[in-house]
Amino acid sequence: MFYLGTHKAHWLASVNVPLFVSRRTLAPRKTLPRAITNWALDSGGFTEIHTYGRWEMSPADYATQVRRYADEIGMMDWAAPQDWMCEASALAASGLTVADHQRLTVDNFLELRQLLGMTVAPVLQGWELDDYQRCVDLFTTAGVDLGNEPVIGLGSVCRRGATDEISRIIHSLYPLNMHAFGVKGRAYAANYDLLTSADSMAWSFAARYDPPMDGCPHQHCSNCPKYALAWRQRMLDRCNQLRLGL
């Protein structure tokens, strides 16, 4: 499954493809849309860690928000935990190490699993290839059988530019049911057959540099569902061509 990333909450009530929406998009809203499509919740951890160097929201408060979105919006497939990504910029913001971020990610998942059950998905964090296996080991030691999890987030890949590097990480974790957070279209096309799901908002960045689509009145289509859906379809068509050997 490919979730189209969006920063527009109202798309949940109007766009009929799977969507990926950040908690930070939903949190300011007093009223919430009612979903007409399946969707998954991003915790907004990248912004949280880079802004504050830590999570300011408690797991209990986060769980309360997730329950509200699941109940009021409906059709939520799963929610990400309050994970700690491992890019160098995130480590600089927190002053901690990759091992610290992995431990905090696992600890938070364990607490949220008690509060939310299977609604929350585990996330593997790391930077180097071996880091991800060490994160698997942390979950195993904590009694979590990742082989039985329907979806496992793969973190700290969205800002990697090298498709080969992302591919090596994904191959090393297969056959776990991996969801690639924020993966670029090229990396998804190269690995779609090894992934359970993925999400991307790369369409919005691309739209800034393209002329508006025919019939669009705006200057560019970076907020445009028509452009986003066309971008998603092109990517899925490319994956189908690869599957057919074309």
- List the domains of the chain with CATH numbers: 2-200 (3.20.20)
Reported confidence tier of residue 51, pLDDT bands at 50, 70, 90: very high
- Residue 233: which H helix or E strand, with range? helix 225-243
Neighbour-count burial for 32-67, b at 16+ CB within 10 Å, e otherwise? bbebebbbbbbbbbbebbeeeeebebebeebbebbe
**Distance separating alpha carbons of residues 185 and 192, to the nearest angstrom:** 10
Spatial CA neighbour of 15 closest among 240, 239, 235, 232: 232
For residue 13, give the 3-state DSSP assignment.
helix
Q: State the amino acid at position 127 in one-letter form.
A: W
DSSP, res 208? T
Reported confidence tier of residue 246, pLDDT bands at 50, 70, 90: low
Which pair of structure tokens corresponds to residue 127? 């930077």
Reported confidence tier of residue 137, pLDDT bands at 50, 70, 90: very high
Q: How far is CA 199 from CA 108, 134, 183, in A?
A: 22, 24, 6
Q: What is the pLDDT of residues 179-217, one digit of tens each?
A: 999 988 788 988 999 999 999 998 888 878 888 888 889
Q: What is the pLDDT of residues 22-38, one digit of tens each?
A: 999 999 999 999 999 99
- Is the pLDDT score of 70 beyond 90? yes
Average of per-residue pLDDT across 77-85:
98
- Is the pLDDT score of 238 beyond 90? no
Beta-carbon contacts of residue 11 (< 8 Å; ≥ 6 apart): 19, 21, 225
**Distance separating alpha carbons of residues 210 and 213, to the nearest angstrom:** 8
- Is the pLDDT score of 163 beyond 70? yes
Which pair of structure tokens corresponds to residue 38? 């399946």
**Distance separating alpha carbons of residues 195 and 212, to the nearest angstrom:** 32
CB-facing half-sphere around the CA of 228: CA atoms within 13 A: 24
Chain CA centroid to CA 18, Å: 12
Neighbour-count burial for 163-200, b at 16+ CB within 10 Å, e otherwise? beebeebbeebeebbbbbbbbbbebbbbbbeebbbbbb
